[in-house]
Amino acid sequence: MDHQQIKEAINRQIGEDPLFTDKDKERFYKNKPNRRQRFPAAPKIVTVLLAFFVLSGPFYTFIKTDWFEQPSSPTQEEKEPVEETPPAPDPDPEEPTHVKVEKLKEVITSIPSKSKVKVAIDRFHGVEVEFEQSTKTENGNEYHLLESYYVFDRHNETGDSSAYIGPMPPTKDDFKRGDVEISLKLDWIESESHNLLREATLLYLSEEGDLIEENYSRSAYHGKFIKVKNPNEPVVMDDLILRSIARSVGKEPDNITKRDLLYLEELTINASHLSGIYEVDEDIEYFKAMQSLFVLKLNQAIIPGELLKEVPYLDQATFIGPTVDDLSRVKEGLQTITYLNLINSSFRGTAEDILELKSLNIVRVDPAVVPNYEDLQFEGMDVRW
Amino acid sequence: MSGHTQTHYTREEAVEYIMDQYGESLKRTIFTYVKNHHTTDDIFQDVLLQIYRKWDRFNGDSQLKTWAMRIAINRCKDYLRSPIHRIKIATDKWREQKDPNYTEQKVVQKEQWDEIAEAILHLPIKYREVMILTFQQDMTQKQIAEATGTPLSTIKTRMQRARQLLREKADEGGIDPWIINK
């Protein structure tokens, strides 16, 4: 069935004129709950309670005061009020690092409030080492961005201060010396109405002695952490792929580290200047590190399926040139993609080949070379050319 | 607002954005469930209020449109299950609720596409929704599964069954079978 024709016909059936008008907006704003008026008596109750506490304080002091005793030390009275937080259970000082990390991750992924994060950090005696504030304006609204760095030190049992004072992030040696057990960086967006934890990065040593970096972004990776081993380790790859990665992340090829692979979102390998097909054959660990890679374009180049399948969130793939006559070499690694562009490729396979890609929704393919392309449409796939 | 920037928005801004970007789509989808303009208006308001109240719970796992669509679909299904709807359906005729210009327009256009669209709108709700969300809302099967809270395999089966029902309708006459198989 012709998608556009059906769409237009359904819309004709519903009505040619727009259904959504300013009246809908006006009606919503008229009926929108006023959050401050949800409990109109609240201000009065607060006033009464406040008055009660104000008056009961001096009265209590009056009846309890021993008028013949010496006044107490002023330092005892001027203690800072402490933010009320739920009582935290005593942490087990012998708790392994990975257990603490998992507990912190659990809090981070729970869309926490600032106070909830503070409770978790205090529980493990985390100390804020550095912070940086900036302001950003978007769509006329002003947001405050706050980056906070914390360290957790196994020997710090009070949480008052840390032997480690920076710079952040700590190096692998700082972890090995035991100066830092876990480092945590939190990025908050603060607006008048609420605070949102946008991103979190954890660093710690694994039991095998590798430095592990884990990153959480609220708007990416399906709400899960991505992880890389020894993020500062330089990447040793073939020149063409290294230059392709460098172009993507805006760095010199010699300076590419495994951390860059972790945050690499798009990769284009253009081997059209070569006489043959450029076949990528690199250490599988590098592909495991590419946990942000979303878009892949291969021009006269191919990455075998057994390597591609290690890229967990690959969403879009484009093949150009004589690399995929059918999808047998790559299909294993394309099971997460939702978009596949074969329009400028040598693909001569069938609809069944394409249907083997379980997540695929949109395919660009020449209908002249896939005679049974209607089968794709029958399965609800959007076929474009 | 999709993907990386949605976290910046307050609930007021989110509703404003959804109204501006998806208001028309949401209302058209609601209409295909309830087939009544007044009810569509009322349900749309409920949907906006729910989006306003639930904005804190939107965690970005799904696309914003899919999330809003899911709220709308659930609200429509609640309505269709409600006793009020069951009473109303006895007196409410879908044809009477259509665009008043439709009859005249149809005479002029009287196309096969209109016939098939009408047939889609008369399918049972579970088949109608997969067809509407696919063709009218351009949603992928994965997004439909997400928006309706139904397994992907079920959506695929319903899509096949919907096409089969349309073919049967074509066999009864009124629709050129070629157009369905096209």
Report residue B47 as tokens: 């949907």
pLDDT, tens digit, 9 for 90 and up, residues A74-114? 443 333 344 444 444 555 667 888 888 999 998 998 878 88
* Residue A84 or residue A361, greater confidence: A361
Q: Where are the domains of chain B?
A: 1-98, 99-182
Q: How far apart, in whole angstroms, are the C-alpha atoms of residue A254 and residue B182?
A: 54
Peptide bond before residue B151 is cis, with ω within 30 degrees of 0: no
Query: Is A66's pLDDT higher than 50?
Result: no
Report yes or no: B31 and B40 within 8 Å, Cβ to Cβ.
yes
Strand partners, A278: A301
H or E stretch covering A127:
strand A126-138
Maximum average pLDDT range among A17-31, A226-240, B2-16, B93-107: A226-240
pLDDT of residue A126: 87
Q: Which residue has the tokens 């860059």?
A: A260
Chain A interface test: which of B141, B146, B148 (most A C-beta within 10 Å): B141
Q: Give me the residue label for tokens 């900036």.
A: A134
Q: Scanning every residue of chain A, which has its alpha carbon at the shortest distance from the alpha carbon of B155?
A: A380
Residue closest to A298 by CA, chosen among A263, A334, A332:
A334
Confidence of residue A259 (pLDDT cuts 50, 70, 90): very high
Instruction: Quick: pLDDT tens for B102-120.
Output: 444 444 444 678 888 888 9
Asked if A291 contacts A262 with a C-beta cutoff of 8 angstroms, the reply is yes
A10/B contact by beta carbon, under 8 A: yes
DSSP conformational letter for A161: -
pLDDT of residue A69: 45
- Per residue in B42-89, pLDDT (tens digit) is 999 999 998 988 888 787 767 888 889 999 998 888 887 776 665 555
What is the CB neighbour count within 10 angstroms for residue B93?
11
CB A16 to CB B3 under 8 A? no
Position B20 pLDDT exceeds 60: yes
Contacts of A16 in chain B (CB under 8 A): 99, 101, 105
Give the mean pLDDT of A284-308: 93
Q: How confident is the model at residue A316 (pLDDT cuts 50, 70, 90)?
A: very high
> In this structure, what token pair is assigned to residue A285?
């660990």
Q: Is the pLDDT of residue A311 over 60?
A: yes
Q: Is the peptide bond before A167 cis (omega within 30 degrees of 0)?
A: yes
Per-residue pLDDT, A90 = 54
| CATH architecture of structural domain A239-384 | Alpha-Beta Horseshoe (3.80)
Measured CA to CA, the distance from residue A126 to residue B48 in angstroms comes to 41
> Bridge partners of B36?
none
CA separation for the pair B23, B19 (Å, rounded): 4
| Chain B partners within 8 Å of A200 (Cβ) | none
At residue A168 the predicted structure's pLDDT band, cuts being 50, 70 and 90, is confident
- The answer to whether B126 contacts chain A (CB < 8 Å) is no
Contact B121 A13 (CB under 8 A): yes
Are B46 and B1 in contact by the 8 Å Cβ rule? The answer is no
Cα–Cα dist A199/A183, whole Å: 14
A141 sits in which H/E element: strand A141-152
CB neighbours of B96 closer than 8 A, spacing ≥ 6? Answer: none
Looking at the DSSP bridge assignments, the partners of residue A141 are A138
Percent of the residues in chain B that have a pLDDT greater than 90, as a whole number? 19
Q: Does B21 touch chain A (CB under 8 A)?
A: no
Chain A contacts of B8, Cβ < 8 Å? 138, 141, 143, 189, 191
Choices 3.40.50.1240, 2.60.40.10, 1.10.10.10, 3.40.50.300: CATH for B99-182: 1.10.10.10
Exposure of A116 by Cβ count < 10 A (0-12 exposed, 13-18 middle, 19+ buried)?
A: middle
- Cβ-Cβ contacts under 8 Å between A and B: the total is 151
Q: Which of helix, strand or coil describes residue A9?
A: helix
Chain B residue with CA closest to A339: the answer is B140
How much is the pLDDT for A200? Answer: 93
Q: Provide the residue ranges of all domains of chain A, joining segments of one domain with +.
A: 97-229, 239-384
pLDDT band at B90 (very low <50, low <70, confident <90, very high): very low
How many Cβ atoms sit within 10 Å of the Cβ of residue A182?
22
The span from the CA of B156 to the CA of B163, in Å, is 11
Most confident of A107-116, A219-228, A274-283: A274-283
The interface residues of chain A toward chain B in range 254-293, judged by CB-CB distance below 8 A, are none
Determine how many CB atoms are found less than 10 A away from the CB of residue A352: 12
Residues in B 67-96 with any Cβ partner in A closer than 8 A: none
Give the alpha-carbon dihedral of A7, A340, A263, A146, to 10 degrees.
Answer: 0
Reference A383, options A357, A354, A359; nearest CA is: A354
**Which of A2, A25, A192 is opposite residue B19, by nearest beta carbon?**
A25
pLDDT digits (tens, 9 = 90+) for A15-34: 888 899 888 988 888 877 66
The shortest C-alpha distance from B87 to chain A (Å) reads: 23
Question: Domain B1-98 belongs to what architecture?
Answer: Orthogonal Bundle (1.10)
Measured at the alpha carbon of residue A279, what is the angle toward residues A276 and A282, in degrees to the nearest 5? 150
For residue A46, how many other CB atoms are within 10 A of its CB?
Answer: 10
Report strand pairing: A211-217 vs A382-384: unpaired
Mean pLDDT confidence for A356-382 = 85
Average pLDDT along chain B: 77
Amino acid in position B13: E
Q: Is A135 on the interface with B (CB under 8 A)?
A: no
Angle (nearest 5°) at CA A352 between A349 and A353 = 50
CA distance B127 to chain A (A): 13
Interface test with A, best of B28, B95, B105, B148 (most A CBs within 10 A): B28
Residue A74 is predicted with a pLDDT of 40
- Measured between beta carbons, the chain A residues lying within 8 angstroms of B135 are 1, 3, 6-7, 10
**A384: distance to nearest CA of chain B, Å?**
13
Query: Which has the closest alpha carbon to B144: A225, A249, A33, B153?
Result: B153
Higher pLDDT, A56 or A238: A238
Sheet holding A126-138, edge to edge: A126-138, A141-152, A182-190, A195-205, A211-217, A226-229
Instruction: Kindly report which listed range (A61-70, A183-192, A207-216) carries the lowest average pLDDT score.
Output: A61-70
